[in-house]
Amino acid sequence: MAELKGAEHKLVIEGLRKAFGPLPVLDGVDFDVAPGEFVALVGPSGCGKSTLFDVVAGLEPPDAGRVLVDGADATGRVDPFAYMPQRDLLFPWRTVLDNTTLGLEVAGVPRKAARARAGELFEPFGLAGFEKARPGELSGGMRQRAALLRTVVQDRAVLLLDEPFGALDALTRIDMQLWLEGVRAGFGWTVLLITHDIREAVFLADRVLVLGPRPTSVRHETVVDLPRPRDVSMITQPRFAELEAEVLGQVGRGRAAGADSEH
């Protein structure tokens, strides 16, 4: 039956539970993601968003629940997911190009082929000319784009992006959001994005899932029925403001009501 359910979904998360010792963090997380869909996750800080990614990405075993990819059980497996952690983690001992090929190298792709594959993406990622630079020479926005390039070039089924723009200043962040909205259309990625920026979630996503406080579960779902491609003018439209208010209200509800009230 789960196989049937999984068939039309790229990713199905079923009843994930996780506790660290006495501390329950995930309290039965359920949702699914269609192929090519962009789903944003918002929730109070410390509620367990990064933990959810660690479990989905196969880095932490769940106490209960399953992860299905293309209908097949992928619980504990790392290979369907490309994971972009909260910090960019570009390594100073590698050039920018060699940082972006790391995942391919680990997977055994010959260095030359790996460099060719990652190199092709430098232009669309706004990094052309910086192949041989060291990470320290890049601006904050470029570092995040390099980290994202390293993530997507692995060609995994689902991208897991944990607050990719969280550390950037407001203007750079908006640039990055516009750029990501522009570039993602051409690639057909299936994306899960954690963010604490509700405007970012509404602007980028097809759907926004609101997580409750720890121990967390999905409290609310907002379908973002805004046309694509989206540009800056979208932000000033009434429908955008409505959706933003809806998500904000749900995040606030979770916080004000404490840990009870399941919907």
Partner 1 sequence: MTGALGRLRRLTPALVLVLVGLAVWQWYVTASAVRPQVLPSPLRVLTEGWAFRAQIWANALPTLQVTAVGFAVSLAVGWAIAVAVDFSPWLRRALTPLLVASQTLPIIAIAPLLIIWFGFGLAPKVVVIALVTFFPIAVGLIEGFGRTDRQATNLLRSMGASRWAQFRYVRLPGAMPSFFTALRIGITYAVTGAIFAEYVGASAGLGIFMNLQKNSFRTDLVLAAVLVTALISVSLYGLTFLVQRLVAPWSRRG
Ligand X SMILES: Nc1ncnc2c1ncn2[C@@H]1O[C@H](COP(=O)(O)OP(=O)(O)O)[C@@H](O)[C@H]1O
For binding to ligand X (CB under 6 A), which residues are involved? Answer: 20, 23, 25, 45-51, 214
28 CA to centre of own chain: 20
Strand partners, 194: 41, 162
Nearer Cβ to partner 1, position 58 or 164?
58
- Closest approach, Cβ 162 to Mg ion, in A, equals 6
Binding status of residue 196 toward Mg ion by CB under 5 A: no
Q: E strand or H helix at 193, and its extent?
A: strand 191-194
Structure tokens at 81: 């997911």
Q: Are 151 and 81 in contact (CB under 8 A)?
A: no
* CB nearer Mg ion, residue 9 or residue 214: 214
Residue 70 interacts with which of ligand X, Mg ion, partner 1, none, CB < 5 to 8 Å by class: none
Query: What residues line the site for partner 1 (CB under 8 A)?
Result: 54, 57-59, 78-79, 81-83, 85-87, 89, 91-93, 102-103, 105-107, 134, 154
Report the nearest approach of partner 1 to the CB of residue 154 (Å).
7
Half-sphere exposure of 263 (CA within 13 A, CB side): 13
What's the distance, Cα to Cα, between the start and end of the chain in Å? 25
Question: In the set 19, 28, 35, 50, which binds Mg ion (CB under 5 A)?
Answer: 50
Cα 49 from chain centroid (whole Å): 10
Residue 48 binding partner per list ligand X, Mg ion, partner 1, none, with a CB distance cut-off of 5 to 8 Å that depends on partner kind: ligand X
Q: Does 75 bind Mg ion (CB under 5 A)?
A: no
Say if residues 6 and 70 touch (Cβ distance below 8 Å): yes
Q: Identify what 134 binds: Mg ion, partner 1, ligand X, none; CB under 5 to 8 Å per kind.
A: partner 1
107 vs 185, which CB is nearer to partner 1?
Answer: 107
Nearer to ligand X (CB atom), residue 29 or residue 142? 29
Per DSSP, which regions of the chain are E strands? 11-20, 23-33, 38-42, 64-69, 72-73, 81-84, 158-162, 191-194, 207-211, 218-223
Give 51 or 177: the residue with its C-beta nearer to ligand X. Answer: 51
Question: Residue 14: which of 55, 60, 68, 59 has the closest Cα?
Answer: 68
Binding partner of 64, given ligand X, Mg ion, partner 1, none, CB within 5-8 angstroms per partner class:
none
Looking at the Cβ atoms of 32 and 60, the one nearer to partner 1 is 60
Residue located via tokens 């607050």: 163
Half-sphere exposure of 44 (CA within 13 A, CB side): 21
Residue 46's binding partner out of partner 1, ligand X, Mg ion, none, with CB under 5 to 8 Å set by partner kind? ligand X
Structural contact between residues 200 and 42, judged by C-beta atoms closer than 8 angstroms: no
Which residues contact Mg ion by CB under 5 A? 50
